[in-house]
Structure 1
């Protein structure tokens, strides 16, 4: 009927030979499918009064829509030249080991089919300690994923493969995640062995989390999940309305906080029934409404009428001057990320905190030798930091990464 919201239409899908009613998840990246009877792999449906008592989350690429018009996701799925000689299980095997022969070229070609563009929804799985860090000013950093590739993973057990804190085997009742939108593909790199060889060779005693394979895929005995790192492992400024979320054992997603850029604060979004989620979050009072975060050395900057201002990104289409009053939120003509770099003991680093006489520095290409040389500590998978006396560092400079603000590919509704 004219005027009907497509999102409200009945959707039925076919999955593994059976038909199910379904609802799109993460703008069509995955589907929540429902069953009246218990089926292997399905979870209890926690919705009060639900007629279909079981549900499962599946990737959009694994289902066939037989009725309805679900949203078309902005992102493209991972693609591989699957044939009789190259099954999907073979692709998984290739993703889990490094190859110096033609297999390496093939797995790299498959991996590069997963791309980030302006507006791509990115996620980073967090422990309780990391959630507390985000609320106190940590920024997106290190290993992360497209939501498109992970939206079907909804329980702590399923999401454990993406944890970076070294506790990937823990059976927590809830796990957390940071979700934001990409400003530009320039902010993300594929952690291939050629660029991040030091991480692939890091001794187990010097790392947290799962090993870095160098194929661009996360280690997993079941999934083929492309992984990214923030460029040079540096911080990225938060985009407008980024979210901190929790996932419970029954697959429920709870939005905990939303980032309010003009206030430089995380605003609480959850009700009192979810306070139990914070039992494993150190130093956070769940009744606190706002968490103000301090300015960081890495900033998003924009130019308006010849003047440089701190800016806000609201991808894919809005980039404006950071201002509390609406009348001063001018659109910027150019946009760039400003990141401070420094060299200490001949090791290049980014600056993540500036305390005057002391700088908190992060290695941009960690390896066992440089980690030992600087006495750096691994704070999460791939991230190595230490304090450096400012007087002993050299070459402190701001490096600007300018973005192309030309037309973006708009998400399809």
Structure 2
């Protein structure tokens, strides 16, 4: 049974001390509160009751009572001969022998994505602008469950976003299906592991399935083939202030193909780095005449319609009228693929003479040969002459 204090909050034990606390991210972490400064606690910029707070993962909390575990817990076979420090050390370098590889693989296999898993992706100020103007998410991403205790810009820098002391941005959405993601291991990122520093942006890719970090053990994924993923309903661009406060800036409204601004006047300063975006813009529509090469389609009564996903349970026809939002009988992601000079690519945009493409499996050879540019960690794009692009086709990934 969970013990509540006089404010109706849970009272939990951390490091042998009792704190008033509230669960965050569905119970992945707890926000602890204190009346006075303590190690690890930050002063809340706009306190409602408590002046100080701290975020800790659920694994460090006792006394919170039984809680539902919507996501799989990251587990390691610890023993006298295998400490947590050793597991972390192994996760931060390519395995030197089969035993080390098996240990890391067994730990990584305990992190699972399900339909409806809350995912996050680090964003720079520029990529926030791109999202609001119609670009789709792609590249490296993480389960919110594994990083919910990281709240300040300094802590979230481990995810590879933009280094800043004032604000960090993340995209948060619910996974439509696990098939959209691949662990950052094996052939998925083998070319990136070998990428020289001058040809990459951000931290090196380890190939162990974990993010580079001196203190954290964070499983990481990439979108399959580094392809764009259609945004589900209620995806959100969130900002984190230096005191660890989370602020929802925008939410995605699929029927309008646009973003609704939610941030209040007291947090407008968090939008200052978005220099090409007006802080007073309530709604940023995505142009309807813009070609979208990765989208959701569904079947309803034998006819195909553009579809909307609202995981984990609602998948419907895209329609402005609520009465016409029929549940689809099947759902697929349709993405444009092609080959350019022998390399597999996804198509991002096209005109009569040029095609914007992204490499599905970048490596030092094809990046150099094609002159692809790295615009974010692991993502390599280039302009290809239309006459050199072959086998362009729409591939479909069936969800159900």
Q: Distance in 2 between matches of 1:289 and 1:47?
A: 24
User: Could you tell me how far 1:385 is from its partner in structure 2?
Assistant: 0.3
User: Could you tell me how far 1:274 is from its partner in structure 2?
Assistant: 1.8
Q: Distance in 2 between matches of 1:250 and 1:315?
A: 31
Which residue is equivalent to 2:207?
214
Which residue is equivalent to 1:342?
338
TM-score (norm 2): 0.94
Which residue is equivalent to 1:111?
108
- 1:359 matched to 2:380? The reply is no
Structure 2 matches for 1:6-155, cutoff 5 A?
9-50=8-49, 52-66=50-64, 71-101=67-97, 102-155=99-152
TM-score (norm 1): 0.92
User: SS of the residue aligned with 1:280?
Assistant: coil
What do you get for the CA RMSD once the two structures are aligned?
A: 1.6
Which residue is equivalent to 1:241?
234
Structure 2 matches for 1:184-199, cutoff 5 A?
184-199=177-192
The answer on whether the counterparts of 1:45 and 1:55 sit within 8 Å (CA) in structure 2 is yes
The answer on whether the counterparts of 1:25 and 1:151 sit within 8 Å (CA) in structure 2 is yes
- 1:299 matched to 2:292? The reply is no
Q: Distance in 1 between matches of 2:393 and 2:293?
A: 11
Which residue is equivalent to 2:387?
391
User: Could you tell me how far 1:24 is from its partner in structure 2?
Assistant: 0.5
Which residue is equivalent to 1:409?
none
User: Could you tell me how far 1:9 is from its partner in structure 2?
Assistant: 4.6
User: Could you tell me how far 1:327 is from its partner in structure 2?
Assistant: 1.6
User: SS of the residue aligned with 1:378?
Assistant: strand
User: Could you tell me how far 1:47 is from its partner in structure 2?
Assistant: 4.0
Match for 2:251 among 255, 258, 282?
258
> Unaligned regions of 5+ residues in structure 2, if any?
none
The answer on whether the counterparts of 2:333 and 2:397 sit within 8 Å (CA) in structure 1 is yes
- 1:175 matched to 2:174? The reply is no
User: Could you tell me how far 1:374 is from its partner in structure 2?
Assistant: 1.1
User: SS of the residue aligned with 1:287?
Assistant: coil
User: Could you tell me how far 1:346 is from its partner in structure 2?
Assistant: 0.7
Runs of 4+, deviation exceeding 3 Å: 46-49
Q: Distance in 2 between matches of 1:358 and 1:73?
A: 48
Q: Distance in 2 between matches of 1:238 and 1:354?
A: 21
User: Could you tell me how far 1:196 is from its partner in structure 2?
Assistant: 1.6
CA distances 1:125-182 after superposition (whole Å, capped 9, x unpaired): 1111111111111211000000000111111000011124xx5xx3330011100000
Tell me: CA distance 1:357–1:306, structure 2 relative to 1, closer, same or farther (3 Å).
Answer: farther
The answer on whether the counterparts of 1:256 and 1:270 sit within 8 Å (CA) in structure 2 is yes
User: SS of the residue aligned with 1:273?
Assistant: helix
> Unaligned regions of 5+ residues in structure 1, if any?
405-413
The answer on whether the counterparts of 2:255 and 2:318 sit within 8 Å (CA) in structure 1 is yes
Q: Distance in 2 between matches of 1:128 and 1:73?
A: 33
User: SS of the residue aligned with 1:114?
Assistant: coil
How many residues get paired?
391
User: SS of the residue aligned with 1:208?
Assistant: coil
Q: Distance in 2 between matches of 1:393 and 1:203?
A: 27
